[in-house]
Amino acid sequence: MSRRLISTGSPFEKTAGYSRAVVDGDFAFVSGTTGFDYATMTLPEGVTAQTQNAFKTIEGVLVEAGFALADLVRATYYITDPKDADAVFAVCGEHLSEIRPACTIVTVAALFKPEMKIEIEVTAKRRSA
């Protein structure tokens, strides 16, 4: 299986020289995904809505690549305020409580734009049939 690049169509992907995801064999590597809502082209204010949007984007990209959320083996969460951790964990639990990938949460000084509160990157491995 050859390497495949997945895009969300954002012009920033070309400008910055990255793909939303790269599929290589049985692995999918999804770039850091913020809470931007591509349907409305907006970024909600709250961390809960941003986290939900990030998962929506991640799941859509995984499906396009031939994977499922259940294929996740690793997740890293970058948050800008440690007080948001409980809200982030609640959303993560909604999506991943049965999957339970290895994960790390890191508090960072800032993300690309000051209104961004979370960024999530994941790795998936296709399960054998």
Average pLDDT value over all residues in the chain: 93
pLDDT at position 1, please?
60
> Looking at this protein, which amino acid is placed at residue 6?
I
Q: Rounded to an integer, what distance in angstroms lies between the CA atom of residue 53 and that of residue 95? A: 12
Q: Is the pLDDT of residue 92 over 70?
A: yes
Nearest to 39 by CA among 48, 49, 28, 31: 49
Please report which helix (H) or strand (E) contains residue 11, including its range.
helix 11-16
Judging by DSSP bridges, how do beta strands 118-125 and 72-79 pair with one another? Answer: antiparallel
Determine the pLDDT at residue 128: 60
- On the question of pLDDT at 21 being above 90, the answer is yes
Contact in structure between 80 and 116 (CB atoms under 8 Å): yes
Q: How many domains does the chain have?
A: 1
- Please report, for the domain that includes residue 86, its CATH number: 3.30.1330.40
Does position 94 have pLDDT exceeding 60, yes or no? yes
pLDDT tens string 32-83: 999 998 888 899 999 999 999 999 999 999 999 999 999 999 999 999 999 9
Phi (first) and psi of residue 40, to 5 degrees: -105, -5
Q: Which of 74, 123, 128 is nearest to 100 (CA)?
A: 74
Looking at residue 109, its pLDDT comes to 97
Looking up tokens 């709250």 gives: 46
Please give the residue range of the domain that contains residue 49: 4-125
Tokens 């800032």 identify what position?
A: 110
End-to-end CA distance of the chain: 16
What pLDDT does residue 115 have?
96
